[in-house]
Amino acid sequence: MASNTFPIQADPSMEALPETSRIRQVYPADLFPNGHYAPLLHGRVRYWIIGPEEGTKVVLIHGISTPAVTWTTIAPYLAERGFRVLVYDLYGKGYSEAPHTTYDANLFVTQLALLLQYVRWDAAHIVGFSMGGGIAGALSASLPHLVAGKTVFISSAGLIERTPSKPVPTNRVALKQFLELRDLQGSALPGYKRSLQSCFDHGPIRGLRSSFEKLADISVGPERKKLQVLIIHGTDDEIVPYEEATKIKATIPHAELVTVEGAYHDVVFRDEHWRIVAEALDRFLK
């Protein structure tokens, strides 16, 4: 697939690489069933929808460096329990193109809003992990009609006050299980490092206090119901410290906080912890 040049220039995604390439073996395009591409404003976006058509609609948003493979365990878990789950790659990661633009909250909120329109979902519950939590917060505050009623922040960024000026060292990536995938993205995708740096410089990992404050008293969805909020965070998170969860809780007092003792930032994937997260999601989103 050639780089998209309208309406904005974008570097190609993993879609352009041979199927025999190592990176596509680590992260195959058919990792989830029902995969498609959406030609959106800033480039082509890879997405998957799994679970029964009549199920409660849920969107899962991954973090800053590891694409939708983040949800390898949790997405099927929710689908098997009757949820209709939308998973997608953020711009600049995996199978979504890397537009030549600033990777801020506006870009990622626009991406998800247009993707929901493309798949003809009027609203959905929104679940964000790490930087995806910042996106979830920004979308819920700015486009509340797209939120069916519930927003979940897992190991969430958004209120971080100080962040590194460049991507964290390889041994401190969000999900250590996918070190090879991050390295391969950096070497095989011309826009990955640029997009990653822009996320650190401008992305929805900090500066979203006003958005989170709005969530304390906001009505969402077609029925204009008070937003329900769940926070899930590991006590030993080495990337987004547990204190970030307490800051979100203090900002949104009615939010429920689920603390996962001994969990690191890979709480959504590590064998001993991901099921705790999945069960909390199942209970809360029903």
User: What confidence score (pLDDT) does residue 172 get?
Assistant: 46
**pLDDT tier for residue 7 given thresholds of 50, 70 and 90:** confident
Q: Give residue limits of the domains in the chain.
A: 31-285
Say what the pTM is: 0.94
Q: Mean pLDDT, the chain, as a whole number? A: 93
H/E stretch holding 133 reads helix 131-142
Percent of all residues in the chain with a pLDDT value above 90, rounded to a whole number: 90
DSSP-derived 3-state class of residue 89 = coil
User: What confidence score (pLDDT) does residue 170 get?
Assistant: 41
> Taking the mean position of all CA atoms in its chain, how far away is CA 41?
19
149's CB contacts (< 8 A; 6+ apart) are: 125, 220, 221, 223, 225, 227, 228
Q: What is the mean pLDDT of residues 56-76?
A: 97
> Would you list the DSSP string of 199-247?
HHHHSTTBS-HHHHHHGGG-EETTTTEEPEEEEEEETT-SSS-THHHHH
38, 60, 87, 204 from 35: Cα distances, Å: 10, 15, 9, 26
CB 184 within 8 A of CB 13: no
Q: What is the mean pLDDT of residues 222-227?
A: 94
**pLDDT tier for residue 8 given thresholds of 50, 70 and 90:** confident
Phi and psi, residue 141, nearest 5°: -80, -35
The token pair that represents 145 in the structure block: 């009609």
Residues in a beta bridge with 151: 126, 229
The string of pLDDT tens digits covering residues 14-38 is 999 999 999 999 999 999 999 999 9
Q: Is the dihedral of CA 269, 273, 279, 280 positive or negative?
A: negative
Q: Is the pLDDT of residue 127 over 60?
A: yes
**pLDDT tier for residue 247 given thresholds of 50, 70 and 90:** very high
The residue to which tokens 């929901």 are assigned: 116
Phi and psi, residue 80, nearest 5°: -65, -20
Name the nearest CA neighbour of 16 among 40, 37, 41: 37
What does DSSP assign to residue 253? T
Looking at domain 31-285, which CATH architecture does it have?
3-Layer(aba) Sandwich (3.40)
Compute the distance between CA of residue 259 and CA of residue 12 in angstroms, rounded to an integer. 39
User: What confidence score (pLDDT) does residue 165 get?
Assistant: 46
The string of pLDDT tens digits covering residues 95-112 is 999 999 999 999 999 999
CB 60 within 8 A of CB 87: yes
Q: Is the pLDDT of residue 6 over 60?
A: no
168's CB contacts (< 8 A; 6+ apart) are: 239
